[in-house]
Amino acid sequence: MAYVKKVPLRKCAGCQEMKDKKELIRVLRTPEGDVRIDLTGRANGRGVYVCRSSECLKMAQKKGSLSRSLKVPVEPGVYEQLLKEIEKIEE
């Protein structure tokens, strides 16, 4: 019997779909309370995930799901940074 490695799944804060962790971008609240993008997916802190699409990011922003999941207000600058990262990927 072959051992099958389990693929880590996470839910997108925008579209609410379960996807492979590698397909998503992690937004992190550090223990100090700063909100930033974690491209490694391994930084210490509370994380929430968003698909690599501008539509999902806009949905998450509209619903306030990043702020709710991270339990702190997310600054507009973080959304702008995320949009730039997504645009780099979509090119």
Residue located via tokens 């609410």: 16
54: in domain? yes
3 assigned to some structural domain: no
CATH of the domain at 52: 3.30.1230.10
The pLDDT, as a whole number, for residue 28 is 96
| Residue 1 maps to a domain | no
**What does the pLDDT read at residue 89?**
80
pLDDT value at position 65? 96
Domain that includes residue 20, residue range: 9-90
DSSP H or E segment with residue 25 = strand 24-29
Cβ–Cβ under 8 Å, residues 79 and 86: no
Q: Is the residue at 2 inside a domain?
A: no
Q: For the chain, how many structural domains are there in total?
A: 1
Q: Is residue 55 assigned to a domain?
A: yes
| pLDDT < 70: residue spans in the chain | 1
- Would you say residue 4 lies in a domain? no
